[in-house]
Structure 1
Amino acid sequence: MSWFSQILENWISSPYLEEYLTSVVHPLWLLKLLILLYSPVIAILLFLWAFSFVLHIYKKMNNQQESDSNFWEKPRKRMALVSDIVGKIWFGYEVIGMEHIPKGPGVIVYYHAVTAIDYSLLVAKLFKETQRKCYSVIDHAIYQVPGLNIFFDTVGLKDFSKAECVEILKNGHFIGISPGGSREANFSNDYSLMWGKRTGFAQIALEAKVPIIPMFTQNVREAFRNIGRTRLTRWLYEKTRLLYLPIYGPFPVKMRTYIGEPIPYDPNITAAELAEKTKTAMENLRDKYQKRPGNILRALSERFDKHYKAN
C-alpha cells in the first residue's frame, strides 16, 4: 500500500494529471455530468476516465508518440483480464457457443440492452482467450466525450464509417455492431428488437464477404434498468438523438451470452434479406434462452439454480 501511495502521489504531482484533465474539463460536459449525478452513468464515466488516465500515463512514461497497435497490447491484456474477472464475480458471466466464432473475420451483431455490458465482456473474453481483436461501432455522441479518446482508440471503439468497417473486416478482424443502437437501449421493452429498416451492418458483411455472428445474452436487461420511457422522451430522442434515460443498477444477475451459428456470406442475397435473416436468428436465441417478461429477482436466483448449472 505504501508503494501504491507513493506512485499515486507522484502522479498527482506530475504534469500528466494536468495535461490529461485539460482534455476532460469542459463547461458543457460538466453541466451534463451534473444532470447525470443521480444515475450510475457517472460511475461508469469515472471508471472509464480512470482507465484513460492510466493509459495516458503509460503512453507518456514510454514516450509513445506515433500510433502503434503493438504498443497497446499489454494494456489491452490487462483490461481484458480485469473485465473478465469482474464479469465472473459480479454476473457469473459465461459464454455458450464459443465454437461458433469463425477463425476468420466476421460481423458480431448484438441486442443493445440499457448498457452493452454483455458485449463488452464478450469482447474482453474473446481477446483474453484468443488474442483476437474486435472493433466496435459506437454512437458518435459517446465518442465525443472528452478524455476518453485514448481509451476508445486502445480497445477499438469508434463511430466507424461503413468504408472503415469493411476495411477492418478485410484486415481479418471482427467488428461488433448493434443495429438497434441507443434507441433500443433506451426504449426496448421486454427484449424487443428495434432495428427499423437498418441494413447497414448487412451491407458491410456483404461487401467484405464475411459471415454474421448473432449473439444474445440472457438477463442482460435485468443487470441495468432505466426509467423515463414516455412518449415525450421518445419524441425528444427522435428529434435530438442525444437523449439517454437515467439508469440504475448494476444488479448481480446471472448473465450467459449465447453465440449463434454464423450466417454465411451469400452473394445471391440482398442486404435487406440478410438483415431480416439475422433478426430472425437473434429472436430465436432470445425466445429459446430468455424468460419473458424479464424479472430481476428471478435473474438473481439463477446464480444459484442447479438446473441451469447442470445444463
Structure 2
Amino acid sequence: MRPLPKMLVDAGVAFARIYNRLEIRNCGALPGGPVLFVANHGFGGIVDLNLLAVAAAYDELGDDRDVVTLTHAMAWKLGIGRVIEEFDARPAGHDTAMKAIGDGKHVLVFPGGDIDAMKPWSDRNKVLFSGRSGFAQLALEAGVPIVPIVTAGAGESLYVLSNGKRLAELIGAKKLLRLHSLPVSVSVPWGLSVGLAGLLPYLPLPTKLVTTILPTMVPHEGETAEEFAERVHAVMQDEMTALTSGRRPVVG
C-alpha cells in the first residue's frame, strides 16, 4: 500500500479505536504462509466500520504481508474503483484471488457481499452468507487456510429499516450493478435515505465495536467446499451470537 493510503487507513483505524471503543480479541497466531481472511460486514456503504476493524485486527497480529481485499464490482461500475485500488482493493473474483495468493499475499473476502452489508436492523447480529461457498472453494484450490474475523456492533452505526430487496428487483439493480439490495436507512446527517443515496458517507453513531480473530480453519479430509463453507459460517455466527448476547445497542 502506498504511503498516503496507508496514512488514511491508519487514521481511520485510530478513529475506530477511540470513537467506537474498538476492542480486539485474538484467538491465535497466523500460520507462516498466505491465508484467506473471511469477515462479516457491518453496513457496507462507503463507510464500513468492519473494514477498519479488520485493519486494526491485522495490525494486532503484527504481520507485514500485503492484504488484497476482494471488493464488490459496484465500486468500479460507479467509477471509484481506481481510487480504492490504492488501498489494495481488487474486483472480487477467483482469478484475482489466486494471483494474490500466488504472489504470497493474504486475501480478505466478505462472502455475504451486499446481502450481508445491507441487512436490516433486525438482522444486525446475523452473519449472512446466503449459502455462498466460493470462498471455501478458493481456499481448497489455493491450499490456504481460512482465518475468520467477526466484528459485532457496526450494524448499529445507523438504522436500516429494510434491505430494499424488492426495490432492487424492480429497478434491475442486480443486472446493472450486481446488487441484490438497495437499503432504506436513517443516518446522520442524511435522515431517511433510499437506495444508493443510503450508501453516501454518513456520520456513524458511536457504537462499540468488538472484533474477534478466530483460530485458523482447514478443511477436513474429504470435506466439500459447501461443507467447509457451512462450518466456517457456523463458527462465525456462534461467535457473533456470543459477542452480542446481552448487548445494548450502540452502548455495547
Q: Same fold (TM over 0.5)?
A: yes
1:279 maps to 2:221: no
1:140 to 73, 78, 94: 73
| Structure 1 residues 236 and 107: alpha-carbon distance in aligned structure 2, compared to 1, 3 A threshold | farther
State the distance in 1 between where 2:213 and 2:125 align. 17
RCO greater where, 1 or 2, for CA within 8 Å and sep 6 or more?
2
**Relative to total residues, which structure has the larger strand share, 1 or 2?**
2
What is the percentage of aligned positions where both structures have the same residue? 19
Instruction: Work out whether residues 100 and 259 of structure 1, in 8 Å CA contact, stay in contact via their aligned partners in 2.
Output: no
Is 2:119 the partner of 1:158?
no
The 1-side partners of 2:24 and 2:132 are apart by: 27
Counterpart amino acid of residue 3 in structure 2: K
Bigger fraction of residues in helix:
1
Counterpart in 1 of 2:135? 201
Q: Find the partner of 2:10 among 81, 85, 104.
A: 81
What's the CA shift for 1:238?
Answer: 7.8
Picking from 75, 92, 106, the partner of 1:174 is 106
Tell me the CA shift for residue 231 of structure 1: 6.3
- Determine the structure 2 residue equivalent to 1:24: none
**Residue 148 of structure 2 corresponds to which residue in structure 1?**
214
Q: What is the CA-CA distance between 1:223 and the residue it aligns to?
A: 1.9
In structure 2, what is the Cα distance between the partners aligned to 1:251 and 1:239?
28
> Structure 1 CA distance, aligned partners of 2:146 and 2:132?
15
Bigger shift: 278-287 or 77-86?
A: 77-86
Aligned pairs (5 A) from 1:38-53:
none
Deviation at 1:267, TM superposition (A): 5.5
How many pairs were matched up? 226
Alignment of 1:1-12 (within 5 A): none
Unaligned runs of 5+ in 1: 1-71, 303-311
The residue type equivalent to 1:185 in the other structure is A
1:105 CA drift (Å):
1.1
How far does residue 295 in structure 1 lie from its aligned partner after superposition?
Answer: 4.5
Distance 1:224 1:136 in 2: 24
Whole-angstrom CA distance in 2 between matches of 1:173 and 1:267? 25
Moved more, 202-211 or 164-173: 164-173
Q: Is the 8 A contact 2:160 2:183 kept in 1?
A: yes
1:209-238 deviation digits (Å, cap 9, x = unpaired): 111111111212112332344663364488
Tell me whether 1:252 sits opposite 2:190 in the alignment.
no
